[in-house]
Structures are given as structure tokens and as C-alpha cells.
A and B are shown apart, each in its own frame.
Chain A
Amino acid sequence: MNQPKRSRLVWWVVFLVGVSYFALPLLGTFFFSLQAQPIYAGYTNILKDPGFYNSLLYSFIVGLITIAVSILIIVPTAFWVRLKLPWLRPYIEFITLLPFVVPPIILVFGLLNTYSHPPFRLTASNTGSDVLLVAAYVILSFPYMYRAVDSGLRTIDVRTLTEASQSLGAGWVRIMWQVIFPNLRVSILSGAFLTLAIVVGEYTIATFLGRHAFGPYLSLIGGNKAYEPAAGSLISFGITWIAMGLLTLIGRGSRQRVQVAGAR
């Protein structure tokens, strides 16, 4: 067997091993969910449960609000750091990595301790608790959103595009809205869907804040049902994959428009 064929085979083996690592647990979960009687009972039961839709809808709405807040914080910050304060980038990167270091349980206990007493007694109302949940999820989304946006900023000449806009009379709001955001669309969507996946699947913070989100719902039905949690996980996983597929479709159009300076 010649050298190129051998290295191709090796890469195929590596690829299949990698895919198996992710696919086998999913397949296992799927086969487990089919052990109900009748075979699709796990799926039909969960789809008949109003709690499934309510919790999923709640998580999606919280997810969308989290994405919006996260974008509004991260995009201008990453843009300004890249444009004017490049020396600050390592510190910002460190801060955005803190959610990896601080476990959600610690985060939620910190939030409860701070916001269950006056003057910021947010836990006393549903709305207040919802606000806390969104705030916690925004922090959890930092590593994903910042990295996605920062990668996107690297592919465009931020400084020159900004200066070109300024030379044409644009102010900062117009620059952000008409030049920066549109050229970061794919990156923002990438960060957004990662954020959505995290929010939909998150359990600890939602439970301790007493929110009826999808993570606590799955845990609740898992307490007295065997196959429905597996079915519910796969359904939510499928929804996330559909969302990723949409991202790929949208990104294909935008990728063609990346600016390349110089003669063709």
C-alpha cells in the first residue's frame, strides 16, 4: 500500500473513532428509548405532556434573551478591544474563561446569596428569578460567544473597515449596525447556537432558582419514568441539530462574501 493511501486510511480510522465516541452514546440512548412498550411509547408520552412544551418553550425564550444580551455585551467589547485596546485582550479572554473554572453550583449559590437579600431581592419574584437566570446564562455563554465573535473579527480587517466608515461620515452606532454586525453574522450565529444548546440543557442553575426550564423537567420525569427522559433528550438534541443545520445554510451564503484585498 503506498504512502498517500496509508495516511488516508489512518485518517479515516481516526475519523471513525472520533465519530463513534460521540455517536455511540446517542445510539445507546436511542435504542434504550425504544425499549418502552409499545416501542415508541417514550416519544408519544413525552410529546403528549404539556410540561414538555412549556419547559422547552421557557428554555428557548430564556435562551433567546440570553443570546441577545450576550451579543450586546460581547460584540461591542470584542470590537473595541480589537480596535483600540489590544493589550486588554489577554485579560478579557481570561475573564471569559472563568465560567469553565467556576462550577455552576458555585455560581448559583453566589447569586442566591447576593440577590436574596435587600436591596437587590430578586429571588422574591418570578420576574426577578428569571432575570437572575438570564444573567447566569449570559455568564455561562461568555467563552463561546466571545471566542466565536473574536474569531470572526479576525477574518475581517476591523480597523480599515471602521476607518473607511468614519471617512464616509459614519458614527459608532452606524458602524456597528451596518458594517460590523453584518460581517460577523456567521460568527454571532455560531456563538448563539452554542449558547442555545447550553441553555436548553442546563440543569443546576435553573433548579436552584426554581425555574421550570427544560433541564429540571427532564430530571423530574426521570425520577419516575425510564424511557421518556431518553426520548426527551434526543428530541431536544434533534432540535439543536436542526438549528446548527440552519446555521450552516445561512453561513454558506455569507462565507462567499468575505473580503479578500488585492488583485484577483
Chain B
Amino acid sequence: MSFLELTGIQKRFGEVAAVADFNLAAERGEFVSFLGPSGCGKTTTLRMIAGFEQPTAGTIVIDGADVTRRPPNRRNVGMVFQSYALFPNMTVGGNIGFGLKVRKVSTDKVKAKVAELLTMIHLPDKGDRYPYQLSGGQQQRVALARALAIEPQVLLLDEPLSALDAKIRVALRKEIRSIQRQFGITTVYVTHDQEEALSLSDRVVVMSEGRVEQIGTPAEIYNFPATPFVASFVGTLNLVNAKVIEAATGRLSVAGQEVVAAKPISEAHDGGSVTLALRPESIELGEGGGSNRFHGPIEDVSFLGSIVRMRLRLDGTDGPTISLDTFNDPNLNPPAIGEIVTVSFPRESSLVVGAGTKPEIDVVAEA
């Protein structure tokens, strides 16, 4: 039996299904992220685990105990909120020790535990400060320490870094992961930031419109997206219109150039239209990148620091374009604009999604 089990979880608000048939089994000590756009139901699901929302159907089991109908103050689930939710009237030490005092832990033990946690979050001398005297990053660390002080069975984090600037976010998420590993607490992390989800998690649950699109490791989600939504939401993507030459063998025609998809095509019959999805980093300049090839003039070269992004037009002046990313090599000059080049990519990276699939975010090229 898994440590945290959500079975058939549904949540309806009137006629609206905020969460539909959510199933998850997380092991002890596992770090699971809920990833998806705003309104997809990830926070609602988290709140049901915490007990702040009651599921319309389904069960939540933690360490073998059904907590579905248990009030939130009896679940022993620690939570870190997006707005930190530190008690303004208490010092940092008072905030961290609050849960322990509720549990009637002795004053000496509270003091010792608070000191230990303050050291862990690198704020050993801030115990007497008030939350308003701390920076955002410091406040979030205190919020984390407060949630950990009660030694919860499950740790829930609801977009805890979204209010912080980029540099602090990166530093703090490493700290969160390190602390989580140290404590070995089963953790559920809600975010709309792919980089956070992919870099932190043992597994990622990608959600859309209240439904689970895919559950898998970060590598599985990124490299083998199970649905068009996952393909377009996670990472950057080229989406180009393609005509099916032979569905059984996966042969496609893109702007008159033939390629072969990773799998036989089920989305359309011979002569039908589909969308070909390609990651920019899976395409190589030259013929050594795989059996699929595209030819065309270079239309644009963008220097992005460690990455150089090139855009290639496949057909005439109005035809579709695709983008490819290569590592910046100071010893190699990229092709000139207008230069006809060949790019190649493996069959395995050639994903077919339904015709007219709309991207969620970060589409590199589209036709």
C-alpha cells in the first residue's frame, strides 16, 4: 500500500467539475509535483489533501488511515502557502513553535526544536524578529520551518515560490528539496512553473481542466508526453501541419518533405491532416541527427547565451518554419541567413498530435 493514496477524487462546485477522477499513489518520502495552468484543479486537489475542501467523491488515505472526512487540524499535514501566512503578531520563533505548543510540547523542547530549525533554514539569529522585518525569501523559509516543526506525515506546498524573484526562487527550491530529502517527508508541490516541477520532483502529475493528463518522472513527461496537452505544455515545441502519406508506417509529408513519425498514426487516415510536434533540441544541423531530414533556408539566428536558436523555413516564402536549438560553440559560426541547410532528427522525437492542436505556452514555431 502506498503512503498517500488519492482514489477517485472528484470536486464539483455546482455544475463545474474542478477536479474529475483524480488518482495518485505516492510512496513515503516521494516528492510529487502537480503541474498545470491556472484553473486546472491542482490547488483544489492539494486543498482536499489538507482538508480545507471536502471531495465530492473519492477517498484520501495517508499511511493506511482514511482521512477524507477528518478536519484539517487532525490530519498532521504541514502546509506552506503561497502568501507564507506567517502570524503577524508572533515572532519568527513564535511562528515556528506554534504547532508544537498546540501539541502541548514542553517549553524547553519547543525552544530546542525552534533553534534547530532556525539553524537549518540559515536564520539562527532571527528568532526574535517579526515577519514584517524579514525579506520574502526569509519569510518563506520560516513558513517551511513552521510546517516541518510538527513533523507532518505529508508536506504540502502551494506555489510557495511564485511571489519571489527568479534568483531567490532557484536558490530556495534547491533548499526545499535538500530539506525534504533530509526529513524524508512525502511532499506534494503545486506549481505552474515547469522548470520547478521538472527539477524538483520524483514524479510529476500534469493536469488540465480538472483531469490528470499524465503521471510520470520528469524525463518521461518531457520525452514521452502521453497527450497533446502534455506535449504542448511541458517544454518548448515546434508544431507544424502534416499530411498523412501512410498511417500504418507513420509516413508524413510536411511542406512536401517526407518524414516518419515515432509510431503508426492513429489520429487520422491516409490523406488526412495531423500536427507534427518536435522539440527544438531534438533537431540537429547536418545529417547526423537522425533518419528524418528537412531542407530549407535559414530565416533567423538568435543568440540566447548558451543556446543558439535557428529558424528554418521549409517551403517557399510562406511555408511553415521550425526552430532548432544548438549549444553555443564559439569556434563554430552559425549558418548565414538565407543559406540552404539540412537538419535531421530521429524518428523517436517525431510526435504526432491531433490536427489543429493549439499550444498552451512556449511554442517555438507554428504553421
Genuine A/B complex: yes
Q: A-side interface residues toward B, CB under 8 Å? A: 156-157, 160-161, 163-171, 174, 178-179, 182-183, 185, 256-264
Whether B73 contacts A179 by the Cβ 8 Å rule is no
Are B164 and A156 in contact, CB atoms less than 8 angstroms apart?
A: no
Among B71, B86, B89, B102, contact of A174 (Cβ-Cβ < 8 Å): B102
Instruction: Determine whether the beta carbon of B102 is less than 8 Å from that of A170.
Output: yes
- A156 and B87 CA atoms in complex are apart in Å by 10
Chain B CB within 10 Å — which of A157, A163, A174, A256 has the most? Answer: A163
Question: How many Å lie between the Cα of A256 and that of B76 in the bound state?
Answer: 32
**Which residues of chain A are near B150, meaning CB under 8 Å?**
168-169
Q: Among the listed A156, A169, A182, A262, which residue makes an inter-chain contact with B163, where contact means beta carbons less than 8 Å apart?
A: A262
* Tally of chain B residues near chain A (CB < 8 A): 40
A123 to B57, CA, bound (A): 56
Contact of A163 (CB < 8 Å), options: B72, B86, B88:
B72
Q: Are B88 and A164 in contact (CB under 8 A)?
A: no
How far is B164's CA from A47's CA once the two chains are assembled, in angstroms?
Answer: 61
Task: Tell me whether B163 and A166 are in contact (CB under 8 A).
Answer: no
Q: Is B296 an interface residue (CB 8 A)?
A: no
A contact residues around B165 at 8 Å (CB): 263
Contact indicator per residue, chain B 88-115, by CB within 8 Å of chain A (1) or not (0): 1100000000110011000000000000
A256 / chain B contacts, CB cutoff of 8 Å = 130, 132
With a CB–CB cut-off of 8 A, which chain A residues contact B81? 160, 163-164
Min CB distance B65 to A, Å, is 16
Is the CB–CB distance between B135 and A166 below 8 Å? no
Rounded to whole angstroms, the CA-CA distance of A152 and B135 in the bound complex is 24
Complex alpha-carbon distance, A178 and B88, angstroms = 11
Q: A167-B147, A168-B99 are in contact. Are A261 and B135 (CB under 8 A)?
A: no
Residues in B with CB closer than 8 Å to A260 are 132
Q: Which residues of A contact B84 (CB under 8 A)?
A: 259, 261
A164 touches B136 (CB 8 A): no
26 pairs from A and B in contact (CB 8 Å cutoff) = A160-B81, A160-B83, A160-B85, A161-B85, A161-B87, A164-B79, A164-B81, A166-B51, A166-B71, A166-B72, A167-B79, A167-B147, A167-B156, A168-B73, A168-B98, A169-B74, A169-B99, A182-B89, A183-B87, A256-B132, A258-B132, A259-B131, A261-B84, A261-B85, A261-B163, A262-B136
Q: CA–CA, A263 to B165, complex, Å?
A: 7
What residues of chain B lie closer than 8 Å to A160, measured between beta carbons? 81, 83, 85
With a cutoff of 8 Å between Cβ atoms, the chain A residues found around residue B58 in the complex are none
Which B residues, 30 to 73, have Cβ-Cβ distances below 8 Å to chain A? Answer: 50-52, 71-73
**Partner pick for B136 among A157, A165, A264, CB 8 A cutoff:** A264
Contact, CB under 8 Å: B99 / A156: no
Q: Is the CB of B168 closer than 8 A to any CB of chain A?
A: yes
The answer to whether B243 has its CB under 8 Å from any CB of chain A is: no
With contact pairs A174-B102, A183-B89, A261-B84 given, residues A163 and B136 touching in the complex (Cβ less than 8 Å): no
Min CB distance A194 to B, Å, is 23
- In the bound assembly, the distance between CA atoms of A167 and B131 in angstroms comes to 19
CA distance A170 to B135 in the complex (A): 27
Shortest Cβ distance from residue B279 to the other chain A in the assembled complex, whole angstroms = 33
* CB-CB contacts below 8 Å: B104-139 with A: 130-132, 134-137, 139
